[in-house]
Amino acid sequence: MRHIISLLVENESGALSRIAGLFSARGYNIESLTVATTEDPTLSRMTIVTLGSDKIIEQITKQLNKLIDVVKLQDMTDKDHIEREMMFVKVRAEGESRRSEIQRVSDIFRARIIDVTDTTYCIELTGSSRKLDAYIKTLHEGDVIEVVRSGSMGITRGEKSLSL
Amino acid sequence: MELSGSEIIVQFLKDEGVEYVFGYPGGAVLHIYDAIHQQDDVKHILVRHEQGATHAADGYARATGKPGVVLVTSGPGATNAITGIATAYMDSAPMIVLSGQVPSGMIGSDAFQEVDAIGCTRPCVKHNFLVKDINDLAITLKKAFYVATSGRPGPVLVDIPKDITAPQIKIPYQYPESINMRSYNPTVKGHPRQIKKAVELLLSAKRPMMYSGGGVILGDAAQELRTLTRQLGFPITQTLMGLGAYPAPDPQNVGMLGMHGTYEANMAMHECDVLFAIGARFDDRITGDTSKFCPHAKIIHIDIDPASISKNINVDIPIVGEVKKVLSDMAQIITDSHQKPDQEALAKWWGKIKNWQAQDCLAYDRDSQHIKPQSVIETLYEVTHGDAFVTSDVGQHQMFAAQFYPFNEPRRWINSGGLGTMGFGLPSAMGVKLAFPDADVACVTGEGSIQMCIQELSTCLQYDLPVKIVNLNNRYLGMVRQWQEFFYEKRYSHSYMDALPDFVKLTESYGHVGIRVENPADLKSAMEEAFAMKDRLVFLDVITDQTENVYPMIQAGAAHNQMEISPDHQKRQNSINPEGELA
C-alpha cells in the first residue's frame, strides 16, 4: 500500500543520504522524496512516499526513527491530511487549434501557462499526484518535451502538527 | 584551559575514562599522535593492521562493557577499519572510531589518502560525525560516546580533518559532563501493561521456552535472567551471542539453539506453546524457515531496539525497554502475585525435554586415532577450569567452541556472530587480555581464520599479551568444506588450505612459543604446558581430524525439527514424524 510519511530531521549534511541509504540498503521503495529547511533553520522537513505491506511500512518507520538525525516522524496515510505535488510541463504547442486546446484543458485542470514561445508552452500545475498523472494523459505523448515533478508533500488537517 | 584540537581529543579521552586506544598512525592523524606522545594517561596500542585495531577494541568492549576506542588515519586507515566496524555493528558492541581526514579545504579534491569515511561507513555504524569546527570537537566526542554506549550499543565514527587538530589553533576546553540530543532518546523502561500481560502469559504456559540472546549480556542482565528463570523453572536456550548469561552447566539450560544448536533446544523451540525472547533478534541462523518457526507458540519479546521487534518474526507481546529492568519487574510481579506456573504441565514438559536430551546430540567418536576438534575444546575447558575468556574466529572451530565450552559467566565468550568475521579471534583476544591481564585468554581459531590477522602476533609481543592460541588445524576451511560435502557433492572448490606455513616456526619468529600436537594422547599435556606459561604467548597448532563436521545441523531455511544429528543420522531428517518426534 502507498504511504506518505513526514519527517523532521536535523538539518545536517549527510542526513539525506542516511535516509536514502536506509531505503536502498534494506530494499525499500521510494516513490518520491522532497526535502527543504523549515522555519527553524536547524530542522529540515521531509516527505517520503513509499510502497509496501503493513509489515514493511512498520519496519520503515521504525528504522527511520532509529536514525539519530531523525527528530520526529509521522505516517500521515491514515490521518486526515492534505497532499500536493507540483509539476512543470514543457509541451510542444504549434498551430492555433493545438494551442487553444492545451489552454482549454489547462483551464479545466486549473493549470497555469507560465512561459510561452512560438512553438512551446510551459505549464505549472499543483495537485494530487493522480491529478498530475491525469493531466499528462491529456497531452499527446509526442508533444511532451519535458516534465519536472516535485514529489508529494503533505500536512495534516486541524490543530495537530508535526513539530517539536 | 586553552588546548589544540589534538590536545582536546587526548584530554577528552582521559576525562571520559578511556584506558586504551587501539590505532595506527598516518599523515592525517600526526598531530593527534604528537599529543598522545606527550602524556601517559591514555595508552596507545599500536596494532599491525587497522582491522586488528577495531577487533581489539571490540574484544575489550565486549569483555568489559566499556566502549573500545580506535584511532586510524584517513583513506586506507579508515577503509581497513571498516570490517571491524561492521563486525561491532552487527553484534552491537560499543565502539568509538576516530578517523583522520584530509584538511577541510581539501575535502572533495581527491587528495592523497582521501576517502569519504562518513559515506563509506554509513551503512555499518550506529552514527557518524564529521567535525567541521574545532569548537564542536569536544561536544561531538561526547555525543559519540553517548550514542555508542546507550540504547542498543554500536560503533560510532568521528571523522576529524587534519586542520581541526593543528597545534597552532587553541581554544578553551571544558569536559562536557552531560549531553542532551533532541533526536535521540532511547527507550529504557518497558510498558507496565505489556509487562503484566507477559507475566500472565508466562504463568499460563504449559510448554514454555526461554530464548535469550546477546542483549542480556550487553544489558548486564545476567543476574536478573538467572533469578527469573529459576523462579519460573522454565527451560532456557541461549543464542551464540548470549552464551554465559545463564550458566551452561545448570540443569535448566538446554544448550544453544539454531543451526548448530542442540537437538533438545531446537525441538523445544518447535514444540513450545509460549516463547519468551529476551534480548535476541530472531536471526536467520536461529529461526531457519520463518514460516515454520515455533508454530505452536505465543511469543513475548523484550528488546531495547523497537526495530528488532516483529522484524523477522511477528510477536504477540512486544516489550521495548532495557532487559535488566524489565526482567526484574517481572520477577517482582510474580513474587507479589504468589502465583506459580502450572507445575504438572511443566513436569510433563521437562519429561519430554529429557527424552530429547537422551539423544545425546553432541556425541562424537572419542576413540578416534585422530584428534577430534570437540575433544580439543573439552580439554581447553578442563585445563582452564571453565574460567577462561574464549575468543574465536569464524567457522567450524567457532561452533565447536560454542558447543563444548560451557560458559558460566557472561562476557567470557567473545565471537563475531552477526557478521561472521574471520580474523576476529586474535586481535579481540588482545583487547580482552589488556582488560584482564591476570585471566586466561584463549583464542580458538582455525588455520584459515588465524592467517587473516596473524600479523597481530607482533603486537602481542610488543605489549606483552600472553594469550593462548588454540589452532584447530584441519588443513581445510572446515565450514566451507562441510557445506561442499553436504550440498555440492563433495566438490571441494578452494576449501583446501594448501601451502600452509609451519605455525610453530612462524610463532617462534614472532618471538613466541609454538607447540604442535598431532597425537590425541599428547593433547592434554600440551594444553597444560601452554597454560602453565603464564607470561608467554603460546600457539598450539593442533592437527585435527580433516573429516569432522559440526552436528547437529539444521540446513539453511529448514525448520527446527528438521535436524541432522550426526553422520549416522544423515537420513534422520526424513524419519521425523509430523509431531517432530524421531521415528
Partner residues linked to B155 by β-bridges: B95
Joined grid coordinates for residue B560:
527446527
Report the 10 Å Cβ neighbour count for B534: 8
In the prediction, which pLDDT does B460 show? Answer: 98
- For an interface test with A, the pick among B179, B183, B312 (most A C-beta atoms closer than 10 Å) comes out as B183
pLDDT tens string, chain B, 583 residues long: the values are 899 999 999 999 999 999 999 999 999 999 999 999 999 999 999 999 999 999 999 999 999 999 999 999 999 999 999 999 999 999 999 999 999 999 999 999 999 999 999 999 999 999 999 999 999 999 999 999 999 999 999 999 999 999 999 999 999 999 999 999 999 998 789 999 999 999 999 999 999 999 999 999 999 999 999 999 999 999 999 999 999 999 999 999 999 999 999 999 999 999 999 999 999 999 999 998 999 999 999 999 999 999 999 999 999 999 999 999 999 999 999 999 999 999 999 999 999 999 999 989 999 999 999 999 999 999 999 999 999 999 999 999 999 999 999 999 999 999 999 999 999 999 999 999 999 999 999 999 999 999 999 999 999 999 999 999 999 999 999 999 999 999 999 999 999 988 999 999 999 999 999 999 999 999 999 999 999 999 999 999 999 999 999 999 998 889 988 888 887 655 444 445 545 555 4
Chain B CB contacts of A62 below 8 Å: 306-307, 309
Dist. CA B261–CA B242, nearest whole Å? 13
- For an interface test with B, the pick among A68, A69, A73, A162 (most B C-beta atoms closer than 10 Å) comes out as A68
Q: Which residues neighbour B169 within 8 Å (Cβ) at sequence distance 6 or greater? A: B4, B5, B134, B163
Is B184 in the A-facing interface, judged by CB distances under 8 Å? yes
Domain A82-153 in the same topology as domain A2-78 = yes
- What are the DSSP calls for chain A, one per residue? -EEEEEEEEE--TTHHHHHHHHHHHTT---SEEEEEE-SSTTEEEEEEEEE--HHHHHHHHHHHHHSTTEEEEEE-TTS-EEEEEEEEEEEE--SHHHHHHHHHHHHHTT-EEEEE-SSEEEEEEEE-HHHHHHHHHHS-GGGEEEEEE---EEEESSS-----
- What are the DSSP calls for A72-96, one per residue? EEEE-TTS-EEEEEEEEEEEE--SH
Nearest beta carbon to residue B122 from set A13, A18, A65? A18
B392 Cα to chain A: minimum distance (Å): 29
Nearest beta carbon to residue A59 from set B123, B184, B311? B311
CA proximity to B22, closest of B427, B294, B364, B329 = B427
Local structure of B568: helix, strand or coil: helix
* A–B interface: beta-carbon pairs under 8 A: 39
Helices B76-90 and B50-64, packing angle to 10 deg: 30
**B335 exposure class (CB count in 10 Å sphere: 0-12, 13-18, 19+):** exposed
Dist. CA B88–CA B95, nearest whole Å? 7
CA proximity to B390, closest of B378, B402, B375 = B402
Dist. CA B574–CA B295, nearest whole Å? 19
Is A69 in the B-facing interface, judged by CB distances under 8 Å? yes
**Contact present, B252 and B223 (Cβ < 8 Å):** no
Is A164 in the B-facing interface, judged by CB distances under 8 Å? yes
Nearest beta carbon to residue A68 from set B147, B309, B310? B147
Evaluate the CA torsion angle B305, B310, B313, B318 in order and state its sign: positive
The answer to whether A17 contacts B122, with C-beta atoms less than 8 Å apart, is yes
CA proximity to B485, closest of B374, B395, B551, B493 = B493
Q: Find where cell 601452554 sits.
A: B530
- For an interface test with B, the pick among A66, A71, A164 (most B C-beta atoms closer than 10 Å) comes out as A66
Dist. CA A20–CA B246, nearest whole Å? 40
Dist. CA A111–CA A127, nearest whole Å? 9
Q: From residue B221, give the alpha-carbon distance in Å to each of B65, B211, B225, B241.
A: 12, 14, 6, 14
**Contact present, B392 and B420 (Cβ < 8 Å):** no
Dist. CA B137–CA B8, nearest whole Å? 8
Domain residues of chain A, as ranges?
2-78, 82-153
- What are the DSSP calls for B311-373, one per residue? SSS--SEEEES-HHHHHHHHHHHHHHHT----HHHHHHHHHHHHHHHTT-TT---TT-SSBPH
- What are the DSSP calls for B464-497, one per residue? T---EEEEEE-SB-HHHHHHHHHHSTT--TT-B-
CA proximity to B307, closest of A83, A31, A90, A60 = A60
Position B333, amino acid:
I
**Contact present, B284 and B165 (Cβ < 8 Å):** no
Residues of B with a catalytic annotation lie at 50, 112-113, 162, 479
Is B180 in the A-facing interface, judged by CB distances under 8 Å? no
The answer to whether B307 contacts A63, with C-beta atoms less than 8 Å apart, is yes
Q: Is B413 left (phi over 0), alpha (psi -120 to 50) or beta?
A: beta
**Contact present, B534 and B361 (Cβ < 8 Å):** no
Altogether, the residues listed in chain B come to a count of 583
φ, ψ (nearest 5 deg) of residue A113: -85, 120
Partner residues linked to B159 by β-bridges: B99, B130
CATH of A2-78, one of 3.20.20.140, 3.40.50.10490, 3.30.1330.20, 3.30.70.260: 3.30.70.260
Joined grid coordinates for residue B583:
521415528
Chain B CB contacts of A25 below 8 Å: 123
φ, ψ (nearest 5 deg) of residue A27: 75, 30
Joined grid coordinates for residue A85:
505535488
φ, ψ (nearest 5 deg) of residue A48: -120, 130
**Contact present, A13 and A42 (Cβ < 8 Å):** no
Is B185 in the A-facing interface, judged by CB distances under 8 Å? no
pLDDT tens string, chain A, 164 residues long: the values are 999 999 999 999 899 999 999 999 999 999 999 999 999 999 999 999 999 999 999 999 999 999 999 999 999 999 999 999 999 999 999 999 999 999 999 999 999 999 999 999 999 999 999 999 999 999 988 899 999 999 999 999 999 899 98
CA proximity to B36, closest of B52, B25, B49, B47 = B25
Q: From residue B461, give the alpha-carbon distance in Å to each of A58, B41, B536.
A: 51, 22, 9
Is A1 in the B-facing interface, judged by CB distances under 8 Å? no
- A82-153, what's its fold? Alpha-Beta Plaits (3.30.70)
The answer to whether A17 contacts B306, with C-beta atoms less than 8 Å apart, is no
Q: From residue A142, give the alpha-carbon distance in Å to each of A100, A124, A146, A152.
A: 17, 19, 11, 26
φ, ψ (nearest 5 deg) of residue B460: -60, -35
Report the 10 Å Cβ neighbour count for A98: 15
- What are the DSSP calls for B369-399, one per residue? SSBPHHHHHHHHHHHTTT-SEEEE-SSHHHH
Partner residues linked to B443 by β-bridges: B391, B469
Nearest beta carbon to residue A62 from set B147, B184, B306? B306
**Contact present, A23 and B128 (Cβ < 8 Å):** no
In the prediction, which pLDDT does B561 show? Answer: 87
Secondary element (H or E) of residue B287? helix B284-287
**Contact present, B330 and B199 (Cβ < 8 Å):** yes
**A39 exposure class (CB count in 10 Å sphere: 0-12, 13-18, 19+):** exposed
Position B317, amino acid:
I
Q: Which residues neighbour B214 within 8 Å (Cβ) at sequence distance 6 or greater? A: B91, B92, B239, B241, B242, B279, B280, B417
Dist. CA B85–CA B127, nearest whole Å? 11
The answer to whether B311 contacts A10, with C-beta atoms less than 8 Å apart, is no
